[in-house]
Structure 1
């Protein structure tokens, strides 16, 4: 799937703060060297955020591991007495020490004495069982705590490795950026452009990107109802349903959901989907693909392969964050609960989805 998204206004951009920002995006010279430096700067900015996230997560895990280890140590200390008592009971049964009690009950010469001895025998046996059950419960609890501490320690070690890798990566990237600045015809101007672009991306650009992703996600959430209400999109043949969504129907649907899409033109080509528009100075190009997934529910999930912002490719971490935050998938069960997607393809202006009945 390829989407090219262009905003409706070139003079007012959304930001995280109150009110519109009227500054235009930085003017980017049209050459490969500058574009590469800007893409590297974007990557550096996003890696810095990733390092911050990993560092915070590492701190949380370190505290968790410390608490779990303390809990395990306390439980190990508390269980020692129970372990000794339980061991003594098991040995007594193994050595036949309880057999004498039972023999005394059976050899009683009167019903009254036999009942008294049997009550005594039941009290001892019941107490033995209570001690063993208590020890078993505390032992399982200790094992669970130790396993949790081990998992957290392993996760912490993996985070530390990831953190070191990101630090090494950003150091090398920043070295390349510094080299590129020095090699440019005007290092001072290049450095200023990179700073300006970084601030623009952090304060405006990323928010704009998320604005369109949020609109698309919201629209996709209502697409099943549109498919159900529009005659001819969904047809049945035996135990199979066929969904044929025409590009003009999709365009009409999107505009009805959000006016942001009124300058869009979505097209279904052989093997991909494209959308394009021309308004303003901000552009966003999204490339991705669909996969049919069964868990946790059957769905056509959209995976982001490439995002280009104002002609610059965004780093992988940003693409993954966008995919995680905004669901652009299509869920057949929202049409009819027993429908399951089995195949998807696009060609000649139509998106085809094959659906089967599954109870």
Structure 2
């Protein structure tokens, strides 16, 4: 009986000990995840600095090339200016008028034709000289503006480099301090290394593959506007010159999966003002959150399009920093262009609600 009592006490003590240990283990797991998150952020901050350095080198080369081109154009402009000045001086002094007077002193029609052709050649040369000077001046203005723009961009890039460098130093310092408090720092550092390698070798290609496929498919989305295969179009509401294109997230998933098999492992959901896409590929999880908004591109002749603004990216449950999001946005265009279907269509509004995306369109008359 005493043995049974001792065994019961032992079991009770073990149960209490385990119950006390569980929160600590959970805390350690959460703390480790936070450290891994910081490690990934530090890695991506370093990658952003590498991108800035590359951009800065390209700007320096472009700046040097523009300066050389500008110097060459200035030399040509000086020569064109001298020719143009001679032409203008000749007209101002009346030299060209005296040449035309020769026509009245010629006795034969043959000589008159020869003289007229000669005068026309002089006029053409005059016009060529003046046009060359005018073109050179325009080219000089363009190169000067490009030079100023390149210098501004270079200065901004250098400032961004300094900011990111300071940010990286602070992040690394904080991470080092946190690791110094860990009894199993070596094991955590190894997990960080594994995570960054997995992100670099598998995560980045995965997201780029998704974004490339999304960009291509979204360019084709306006096809639904003209789809009348069933005798009517359920996606387009017409009210005079105003149109509303609507599509549910279920219909979007069906459309995307019809365009690319890759989307069979990804699901899009519309909520109030947000788009969320989740996918799993080869054991890796991708999470994309963003929103649609109106925007205008310089090469779209002032016409609006629907831009997808990325707000959050996650890889296997780890958040990627804003610098990574910005780099992805610059590399991939995920916008919707209704005017690609019909140039007379103009998008005037976009609305996201639960399970539905609506685009307001009108005819550009």
Q: 1:123-159 CA deviation, whole Å, 9 max, x = no partner?
A: xx98999887766665665555444434333332222
Distance across 1 between alignment mates of 2:33 and 2:357? 35
Tell me the residue number matched to 1:46. 44
Equivalent residues of 2:36, 2:188 under 8 A apart: no
Task: After superposing the two structures, state which structure 1 stretch, 306-315 or 74-83, moved more.
Answer: 74-83
Structure 1 residue 314: Cα displacement = 0.6
Q: Does the CA contact (< 8 Å) of 2:296 and 2:304 recur in 1?
A: yes
Give the Cα–Cα distance (whole angstroms) in 2 for the partners of residues 81 and 219 of structure 1. Answer: 53
User: What corresponds to 1:253 in structure 2?
Assistant: 255
TM-superposition CA deviations, 1:39-84 (whole Å, max 9, x none): 3333332333332233233333333433443454566567668878
What's the counterpart of residue 345 of structure 2? Answer: 339
- Equivalent pairs, count: 325
Residue aligning to 2:318: 312
Report what 1:236 is aligned to: 238
In structure 2, C-alpha distance between the alignment counterparts of 1:40 and 1:188, rounded to whole Å: 16
Partner of 1:186: 184
How far off is 1:280 after superposition?
Answer: 6.6
Residue 281 of structure 1 and its aligned partner are, at CA, apart by 4.0
Q: CA deviation at 1:210?
A: 1.9
- Alignment partner, residue 302 of structure 1: 308
- 1:324 alignment partner, SS class: helix
Report the alpha carbon displacement of residue 92 of structure 1 after superposing the two structures with TM: 10
Cα shift readout 1:159-184 (whole Å, capped 9, x = no counterpart): 22222222222222222222222122
Deviations 1:12-40 (A, max 9, x none): xxxxxxxxxxxxxxxxx741x33333333
RMSD of equivalent CA atoms: 4.3
Give 1:307 deviation, angstroms. 0.7
Q: Which residue of 2 aligns with 1:163?
A: 161
8 A contact 1:298–1:332 mirrored in 2:
no
Q: TM-score, normalised by structure 2?
A: 0.69
Unpaired runs of at least 5, structure 1: 1-28, 113-118
| Structure 2: stretches of 5+ with no match in the other structure | 1-27, 108-114
Question: Which string of whole-angstrom CA distances, capped at 9 and with x for unpartnered residues, describes residues 313-340 of structure 1?
Answer: 1111221222233333222234544333
Whole-Å separation in 1 of the counterparts to 2:241 and 2:318: 47
Distance 1:291 1:51 in 2: 29
Kept after mapping to 1: 8 A contact 2:276/2:290: no
Instruction: Give the CA deviation at 1:274.
Output: 4.1
Question: For 1:209-224, what aligned pairs fall within 5 Å after superposition?
Answer: 209-224=207-222
**CA displacement 1:269-314 (0-9 Å, x = unmatched):** 3443445567874222111111123542432221101111111111
Q: What residue number does 1:285 align with?
A: 287
Q: Distance in 2 between matches of 1:198 and 1:213?
A: 20
Give the TM-score normalised by structure 1.
Answer: 0.70
Contact kept in structure 1, 2:275 and 2:291, CA below 8 Å: no
Judge conservation of contact 1:225–1:334 (CA < 8 Å) in 2.
Answer: no
Please tell me whether residue 202 in structure 1 is matched to residue 200 in structure 2: yes
Distance in 2 separating the partners of 1:330 and 1:81: 50
The aligned counterpart of 1:18 is none
Q: Is residue 278–residue 286 contact of structure 2 (8 Å, CA) maintained in 1? A: no
Q: Do 2:278 and 2:285's aligned partners in 1 also have CA atoms closer than 8 Å?
A: no
